[in-house]
């Protein structure tokens, strides 16, 4: 029996996936911050020059922008990591599910009865059972 061959994506493709997962947060955060600063400057230029420029100097703005860029970078990386971790946990949980017996009837994940020779009506999306065997009365809801 041959195993399935897995094609490993190229380094460029993996890096592009990383950028699409993490970079959008970083880019969007920086774009919003810069846009808000410029928008506030244009809407209230007198207030900006009088109140903001005296305390929030261009040097401090640059430092705040760098700090925000670093925070956005870490946030984006966390979001990408979290999505990857969730997908991995889901894949592991799906793989850990036991195979179901095709001749059993299940309720809440537990076998409660068995069947023989089901009749399938594909046109009406129905399955009929002539005989259902169960150790106790089944709840029909």
Q: What is the pLDDT of residues 27-43, one digit of tens each?
A: 777 788 788 888 888 89
Domain boundaries, the chain: 11-96, 104-133
Dump pLDDT digits (tens) for 77-107: 787 788 888 888 888 888 877 788 888 888 8
- What are the residues facing 120 on neighbouring strands? 127
Contact present, 104 and 118 (Cβ < 8 Å):
no
Say if strands 131-133 and 104-107 run parallel, antiparallel, or are unpaired. Answer: unpaired
Task: Return the pLDDT at 117.
Answer: 82
Q: What is the pTM of this model?
A: 0.45
């Amino acid at each position: 029996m041959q195993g399935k061959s897995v094609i490993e994506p190229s380094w460029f493709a993996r890096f592009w996936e990383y950028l699409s997962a993490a970079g959008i947060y970083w880019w969007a955060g920086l774009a919003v911050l810069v846009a808000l600063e410029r928008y506030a400057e244009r809407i209230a230029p007198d207030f900006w020059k009088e109140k903001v420029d005296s305390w929030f100097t261009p040097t401090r703005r640059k430092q705040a922008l760098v700090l925000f860029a670093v925070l956005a970078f870490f946030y984006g990386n966390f979001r990408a990591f979290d999505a990857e971790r969730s997908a991995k946990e889901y894949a592991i949980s799906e793989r850990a599910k036991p195979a179901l017996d095709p001749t059993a009837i299940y309720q809440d994940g537990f076998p409660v009865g068995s069947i023989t020779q089901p009749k399938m009506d594909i046109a009406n999306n129905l399955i009929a059972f002539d005989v259902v065997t169960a150790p106790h009365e089944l709840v029909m809801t």
